[in-house]
Amino acid sequence: MKRLAFIALFAAGAFWGLGFPLGKLALREIDAAHMVLLRFAVAALAAAPFAFRDAQTRALFRSPPVLGAGALYGVAFMVQFEGLAHVSVTLAALLVGAMPALIAVSARLLGEKVSRASWAGVAAATLGAALIAGKPDAGSSPFGVALSLIALLIFLAWLLVLRRAPQTASPMAIPAVTVVIAALTILPIALVMHGPPRLDLSIAAWAGIVGQGVLSTLVATAAWQFGSARVGAASAGVFINIEPLMGAGIGVALFGDQLSLALAAGGLLIIAGSLAVVLGERSTPVIDTPAPTPA
């Protein structure tokens, strides 16, 4: 079962990584906040059949952990993309690379056992993400850095709250409800701050938005929920670094970016770190907290 969980976590990181090239298609014609709104609107439509399929799943809309996770997920994306407007891409990628270390530390503080091999894997993967991100330039504003850091902490809170979500018969139930709640959270924020989005976009832009909504949001969230519920938090967190690795790989393959020594070394460190976590997880029992039943 853990092997399948790790495959799901790898898929989640890969699909989140696809969000960057898919987003570039839409950002040519629409601003970031409206792109996030449309992305989650598409994801919510795709998630609706799973979110409203039966009474047990609909009851999740009254579950405090699920409500909290959905709201945090939506707010985190809004804050992150607002911050991205004021910082460099390299700095944003570097911050994402620090996420697994934060998850590992928080897991340890919350009493979860983290093996030495897992700690080594987290360190290697974090260093690899930092190498891929490169040195952040001086063009980033303190406001943008602050928003990016806040978004990182909100994502961390989302991950921790999500682990307290109730158990369900369908693996798609909680991810689907979470995405719908996130979309409902984003809607008023985006409308108040930026007004209604324009919908007269090109086919390429809509392809990017639909791809983000279905793959980089709903499928990635479902894969993450499945995998992270079956392994330790620190072990799951290291797979977030697949996101910058995926983005860098696509940049080299499709956008003409150069394969630098730092990029190659960073990719190898991420892969090695992920393998170290997998090996460490095999010998470390997972301490699960009993989940409450849906209200």
pLDDT tens digits for range 5-46? 889 998 998 898 788 778 878 888 988 889 999 999 999 999
- Report, as an integer, the average pLDDT of 173-179: 95
Is the C-alpha dihedral spanning 20, 25, 27, 32 positive or negative? Answer: negative
Tell me the domain boundaries of the chain. 1-282
- 291 phi and psi, to 5 degrees? -90, 140
User: Is the pLDDT assigned to residue 280 strictly greater than 70?
Assistant: no
Report the C-alpha gap between 72 and 12 in whole angstroms: 18
Residue-level pLDDT at 294? 35
Global confidence as pTM:
0.77
pLDDT tens digits for range 104-134? 777 777 777 767 777 787 788 777 767 766 6
